[in-house]
Structure formats: structure tokens, C-alpha cells
């Protein structure tokens, strides 16, 4: 009975997806609520996932020449005000510090919502000559945005992220870096998080405040809603002109730099939950599972059982492995391992030891496999690889099955009303049509994918000649 109760605490996703999500986040102990409204405490199980994301992504950044730095968390108001579009874009979410110690500040400080202005202010002194370029910097930090409605990992007032900020000699170099980083994100999502994404450009309406172009990766959650999972922005020389970031080129002439910025956040953990989770809890891809293998001893009080479990832990020392030697019942331990999303469970009891075997259970499919103890390490390695690959394939199949095509407004309405998912449809490029679709169906343009298709000659909304194929959808 106890075993059943553990999973009963999770609302089924079919019944109420939002409640299911919150239940999974709380029951699997990824977060705890705090007295700070709109902010969460990330618990060890949640932070361990973030550390694995951070470690692997940081390594990928460094392969492309990125260096890590750290900037102040406060931005003087005068600095923020310099780039008009940028400040307008962030004004509604800004948090301000007005008193330092007991003295009112001469100039109020914004708690960073993003650090473009700080990096620009820094670069104007840091860059003098063409020899100083490119500057390819990144920082891992937290930012604050005063959101009205918050949800764990998806939207909180303070969240963790990385923000890359680069400066280049030419527009071509900046564009190449913008696209390069988007590709790093897309590969990371697919190969590490097992989340397939659509890569493309945001429309003018949806682009970052102050950018020339914003590129995005969009993922589809299990409930058919889209989640923007990473963005990369090309700023051209707009910020450089406002902040006076100039360098002396080889021809001894003063020129402005071209800039980019790019970032992903702890919202990726939300994506992991909503793409892979099920009604028993988390299902984690092996590459970001803090514990990849849990060993559950059966009848652990019997002589030799616990010893054997720890012996197997040593055999599996190449993996992130732990033995559950708590005094809970095996059934309870199985449920707990499932809820925490541990990819592989090893069950070992007196009879197994006698027969020199154990039972392996996959978290993603619940398949049980008998395995000789002599082959354990090889079998676990093979299973983890296969789980990682199969999870991506299942997520891709789900996304493709929930991606529809609309060629006129009636089809668009039917799909957006009755079928959760992405809708591919042609667009004339006019913001009026984009606004109309948002107003009528509560759907937004997710991106204009790099891989364009010609679905028809006319805009899905107004019937005028079409310019781009767009992915539309309801989003988090």
C-alpha cells in the first residue's frame, strides 16, 4: 500500500498538466518554496541537474574560444537608459535599489535583468585595437525580473543562467558567432538533454529589445505547448555606437565593434520535466541524471546482501551510482527511484546472488532485464546509451506527431483550438497578422525556421503573398 501512495501524490498529467508539473517538481525534491515571493530554493536534487548542465555546456563553450568572467549585479540607471529600445524592453520587469546602508543613493541601481549595458560599458575601455578582437566572454550568474506570475524553473523572479557577450571586428564575424552559439545550444539540447528543437529566427515583434536579429531554439512540451529554450542575438553595431565601443583597425581608422549576446537558463530543467516526465515522476536522460544507477538490495538484512550491493557499486564506479541502503521497503525504494527519474535500477537479493545475476530495470520503458553479474558493467553502459538515444527519438516522434500544417485561417483556428502542438503556416511578414493571430487564438510566432518550406503562396491570416514559413504555437 505504501508503494502506491508515493505515486498517488502526483496528479496525473492527463487530469491537470500544470498541477502534475508542480507535484513532480516538489515530490522529487527539485525545489522548495521560500519566504521570498516569486523566488525558489533549488534543492540538491535540482541543483545537481543544473551543475551537470553547466559543466557540459561550459566545456562546449570553451571549445569555441569562450572565456568566463563576472560582472557586477547592479546597473546604474544612467547606464541602463543609454539604449532606448533595450531599457523599454526591460522596464516593466526591473527591480531597483534606492538605499545603500542607511543613505538614499544619488542614483538608483537596477538589479541586473541582463548585462548588455554592463558589458558595453566594460568593453569601451577594454577594447582599443583590432588586436583585442574578438572578445568572447560569458558569465554564469543569476538575474532578476519582477514577473507577475511565477512557476518553478519556468519563470521566477530570480533565476540562474549564463549570458555570453561578444565583440567582433566585422558584421560577418558577429553573425557567424550568433549562429554558432545557437547551434551549440541546439546540439546540447538534442545530444545531452534528449530534447529535439526547431532552430530559427524570431520575428521583429518577438526579437530581443535592442537586437538586430534574434535566433531561437524552440522545444515542444508534452502538453503541446512551446518552450523557448535558448536564444542568441546579433546586435550589429547599435550598442557600440551608443556606448562608444571603438577600436583602431589595421588601416589606422577608428571603427565600431559588432556585438552578440546569447543565453540559456534553469528553465531547461523545466523543459526536461515537461518533455520526458510521466505520471510516476521524473524521467532523466542519463547525461544529466545526478544518479545514473541506483542499486536496491532486496532482503538487505540477510547476510552478504548489502556487501554484494556495495561490491556492485565498485564495479560500476565509472557511472554516477548509489546504493539505497535505507530501511524503507524495496517497493518504496522502487517508487522513489522512479519518481527521481534515475535511468537504471539494479535489484539484487539472496537468490540473485546465488545465481550470480541481478535484475536491471529501465526507468524510461520499465523493461526488466536479467543480467549476469560478470557482464554488469558492459550491460549498464549499453543500457544508458540506449536510454539516452531512445528518449530523444521518442521526444522527436512526439513533436513530429504534434506538428501540423495550416494553409488558411479556418485550418489555423481548428488546429489551435483543438490540437495542442506546433502549427506550420505561411506569413506575409506583416505584424498586423501576427497580432491578429495572438489576439484571436492566444498563439504566438515561435520562429521562422532556418529550414524553410513553401506550404502555399499566401499568408495564412490575410491571403496576401507569403514571405516566410513560421512555426506558431501557444507557449510557456
pLDDT band at 90 (very low <50, low <70, confident <90, very high): confident
Q: What is the mean pLDDT of residues 259-263?
A: 98
Q: Is 338 exposed, middle or buried (0-12, 13-18, 19+ CB in 10 A)?
A: buried
**CA separation (Å) from 316 to 98, 228, 287, 428, 465?**
55, 37, 16, 57, 61
Structure confidence at residue 3 (pLDDT): 43
Cα three-residue angle 331-337-21, rounded to 5 degrees? 115
Q: Is 242 exposed, middle or buried (0-12, 13-18, 19+ CB in 10 A)?
A: middle
pLDDT tens digits, 373-420: 999 999 999 999 999 999 999 999 999 999 999 999 999 999 999 999
Structure confidence at residue 8 (pLDDT): 63
Domains of the chain in sequence order: 2-276 (3.30.930.10), 291-383 (3.40.50.800), 403-473 (3.30.110.30)
CB of 232 closer than 8 Å to CB of 179: yes
Distance CA 442, CA 225 (A): 12
pLDDT tens digits, 359-377: 999 999 999 999 999 999 9
> Beta-strand (E) ranges in 257-394?
258-265, 293-297, 321-323, 344-348, 357-362, 368-372
CB of 281 closer than 8 Å to CB of 28: yes
| Distance, first Cα to last Cα, the chain | 37
Q: What is the mean pLDDT of residues 31-47?
A: 96
Helices and strands (H and E) in the chain: how many: 15, 23
Residue 6 has pLDDT above 90, yes or no: no
Distance CA 9, CA 16 (A): 13
Residue 2 has pLDDT above 50, yes or no: no
Structure confidence at residue 84 (pLDDT): 80
Helix axis angle for 409-418 and 431-441, nearest 10°, is: 40
Better-scored residue on pLDDT, 8 or 310? 310
Percentage of the residues of the chain whose pLDDT score is greater than 70:
98
What is the DSSP-derived secondary structure letter of residue 44?
H
Residue 7 has pLDDT above 60, yes or no: no
Distance CA 210, CA 365 (A): 46
pLDDT tens digits, 191-229: 999 999 999 999 999 999 889 999 999 999 999 999 999
Structure confidence at residue 9 (pLDDT): 83
Count of positions (residues) in the chain: 476
**CA separation (Å) from 117 to 208, 258, 299, 305?**
14, 14, 61, 60
pLDDT tens digits, 331-361: 999 999 999 999 999 999 999 999 999 999 9
Residue 287 has pLDDT above 60, yes or no: yes
Alpha helices in 13-113 (DSSP H): 17-27, 44-63, 77-80, 84-90
Q: What is the mean pLDDT of residues 107-111?
A: 97
Average pLDDT in the chain: 96
Residue 4 has pLDDT above 70, yes or no: no
**CA separation (Å) from 396 to 152, 391, 392, 402?**
25, 9, 6, 10
Distance CA 51, CA 46 (A): 9
pLDDT tens digits, 116-171: 999 999 999 999 999 999 999 999 999 999 999 999 999 999 999 999 999 999 99
Of the candidates 389, 340, 380, 336, the one whose C-alpha atom is nearest the C-alpha of residue 362 is: 380
- Residues 6+ away with beta carbon under 8 Å from 26: 32
CB of 438 closer than 8 Å to CB of 456: no
Taking the model in full, what pTM does it have?
A: 0.95
Amino acid at each position: 500500500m505504501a508503494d502506491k501512495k508515493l505515486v498517488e501524490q502526483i496528479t496525473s498529467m492527463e487530469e491537470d498538466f500544470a498541477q502534475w508539473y508542480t507535484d513532480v517538481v516538489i515530490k522529487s525534491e527539485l525545489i522548495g518554496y521560500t519566504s521570498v515571493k516569486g523566488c525558489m530554493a533549488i534543492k540538491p536534487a535540482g541543483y545537481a541537474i543544473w551543475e551537470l548542465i553547466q559543466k557540459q555546456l561550459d566545456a562546449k563553450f570553451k571549445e569555441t574560444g569562450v572565456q568566463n568572467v563576472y560582472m557586477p549585479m547592479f546597473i546604474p540607471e544612467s547606464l541602463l537608459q543609454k539604449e532606448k529600445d533595450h531599457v523599454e524592453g526591460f522596464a516593466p520587469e526591473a527591480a531597483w535599489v534606492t538605499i545603500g546602508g542607511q543613505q538614499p543613493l544619488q542614483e538608483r541601481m537596477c538589479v541586473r535583468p541582463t548585462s548588455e549595458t554592463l558589458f558595453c560599458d566594460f568593453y569601451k575601455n577594454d577594447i582599443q585595437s583590432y588586436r583585442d578582437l574578438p572578445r568572447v566572454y560569458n558569465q554564469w550568474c543569476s538575474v532578476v525580473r519582477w514577473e507577475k506570475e511565477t512557476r518553478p524553473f519556468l519563470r521566477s523572479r530570480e533565476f540562474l543562467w549564463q549570458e555570453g557577450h561578444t565583440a567582433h571586428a566585422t558584421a560577418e564575424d558577429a553573425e557567424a558567432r550568433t549562429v554558432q552559439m545557437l547551434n551549440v545550444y541546439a546540439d546540447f539540447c538534442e545530444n545531452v538533454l534528449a530534447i529535439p528543437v526547431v532552430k530559427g529566427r524570431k520575428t521583429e515583434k518577438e526579437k530581443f529589445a535592442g537586437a538586430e536579429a534574434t535566433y531561437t531554439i524552440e522545444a515542444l512540451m508534452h502538453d503541446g505547448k512551446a518552450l523557448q529554450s535558448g536564444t542568441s542575438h546579433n546586435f550589429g553595431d547599435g550598442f557600440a555606437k551608443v556606448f562608444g565601443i571603438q577600436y583602431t583597425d589595421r588601416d589606422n581608422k577608428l571603427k565600431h565593434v559588432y556585438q552578440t549576446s546569447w543565453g540559456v537558463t534553469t528553465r531547461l530543467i523545466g523543459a526536461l520535466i515537461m518533455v520526458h516526465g510521466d505520471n510516476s515522476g521524473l524521467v532523466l536522460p542519463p547525461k544529466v541524471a545526478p544518479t545514473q544507477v541506483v542499486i536496491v538490495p532486496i532482503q538487505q538484512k540477510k547476510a552478504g546482501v548489502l556487501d554484494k550491493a556495495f561490491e556492485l557499486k565498485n564495479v560500476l564506479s565509472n557511472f554516477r551510482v548509489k546504493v539505497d541502503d535505507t530501511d524503507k521497503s524495496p517497493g518504496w525504494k522502487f517508487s522513489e527511484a522512479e519518481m527521481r527519474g534515475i535511468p537504471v535500477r539494479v535489484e539484487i537479493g539472496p537468490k540473485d546472488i546465488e545465481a550470480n545475476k541481478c535484475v536491471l530495470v529501465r526507468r524510461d520503458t520499465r523493461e526488466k532485464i536479467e543480467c549476469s553479474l560478470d557482464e554488469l558493467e558492459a550491460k549498464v553502459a549499453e543500457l544508458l546509451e540506449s536510454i539516452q538515444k531512445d528518449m530523444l527519438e521518442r521526444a522527436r516522434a512526439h513533436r513530429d506527431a504534434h506538428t501540423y500544417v495550416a494553409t488558411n485561417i479556418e485550418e489555423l483556428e481548428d488546429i489551435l483550438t483543438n490540437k495542442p502542438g506546433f502549427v506550420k503556416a505561411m506569413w506575409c511578414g506583416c505584424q498586423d497578422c501576427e497580432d491578429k493571430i495572438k489576439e484571436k487564438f492566444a498563439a504566438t510566432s515561435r520562429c521562422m525556421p532556418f529550414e524553410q518550406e513553401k506550404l502555399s503562396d499566401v499568408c495564412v491570416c490575410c491571403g496576401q503573398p507569403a514571405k516566410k514559413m513560421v512555426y506558431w504555437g501557444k507557449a510557456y
